[in-house]
Amino acid sequence: MIIDRPIVIAIVVGVVLSAVLEVFLVDHREFLFAGSDVLLFWVGFGLAGCIGIVVISKWVGHTFLMKHDDPYTGEHVEAEPGEHGDV
């Protein structure tokens, strides 16, 4: 995965801004669970959580759940269904 330069800059700016917000704005840090009160924890939680959800879900889906043929009719699933419901 190649990360574009603007994205890298945006991430760096985002992390710095988050740290500044956290240090100067948060007057009382709440303990939710182990590690949740570490500086920039929620930055990592959001990023890692997002990547983890996508990677694990896709793996489970491609390995077990997603079918190119309809398991109930046996027909190949079309990319363009072209269905127009009675809306």
Partner 1 sequence: MFSFPPVAIMVVAAVLVALIPVSIVRKAIAVGAPLLVLAQLIWGLDAGDSWTFTWLFLELEPLRADALSLVFGYVFAIAAALGGIYAWHLNDRYQQAAALGYAGTSIGVVFAGDLLTLVLFWELMALTSAYLIWAGGYPGSRSAGTRYLFVHMVGGSTLLAGILWHLGTGGSLDFTLFEGTVAGWLVLGGFAINAAIVPLHAWLTDAYPEAGVTGSVFLSAFTTKTAVYVLARGFPGWEILIFLGVIMALYGVVFAVLENDIRRLLAYHIISQVGYMVAAVGIGTEIAINGAVSHAFAHVIYKGLLFMGAGAAVYATGRRTLTALGGISDRMRLVVVLYMVGAFAISAFPLFSGFVSKSLVIYAAEKEHIYWAVALLYLASVGTFLHTGLKLPYFTWFGPRREDIHVGPVPRGMIVAMVFAAALCIGIGVYPTALYDQLPFANTYEPYYSDHVVRTLQMLGFTAVGFWLLRRKLGGEATITIDTDWIYRKAGPVARVLIQTPLEAVFTFFERLVGVLARRASVLAVAPATGWARLLLLSAYARERGPDDALAFLGRPPVGIAIAAILLTFVVVVLAAQALSG
Binding of residue 39 to partner 1 (CB under 8 A): no
Minimum distance, C-beta of residue 5 to partner 1, in the bound complex (Å): 14
**Distance (Å, whole) CA 23 – CA 8:** 23
| Main-chain phi, psi angles of 29, to 5 degrees | -90, 125
Asked if 9 is part of the footprint of partner 1 (rule: CB under 8 A), the reply reads no
Q: Assess 16 for contact with partner 1 (CB under 8 A).
A: no
Instruction: Based on the shown chain and the rule CB under 8 A, indicate whether residue 71 belongs to the binding site for partner 1.
Output: yes
Three-state SS sequence of 12-40: HHHHHHHHHHHHHHCCCCCCCCCCCCCCC
Q: State yes or no: residue 70 binds partner 1 (CB under 8 A).
A: yes
Amino acid identity of 62? H
DSSP 3-state assignment of 82?
Answer: coil
Which residues of this protein are in contact with partner 1, per CB under 8 A? Answer: 1, 3, 7, 10-11, 14, 18, 21-22, 25-30, 32-34, 36, 40, 42-51, 53-54, 56-58, 60-61, 64-72, 77-87
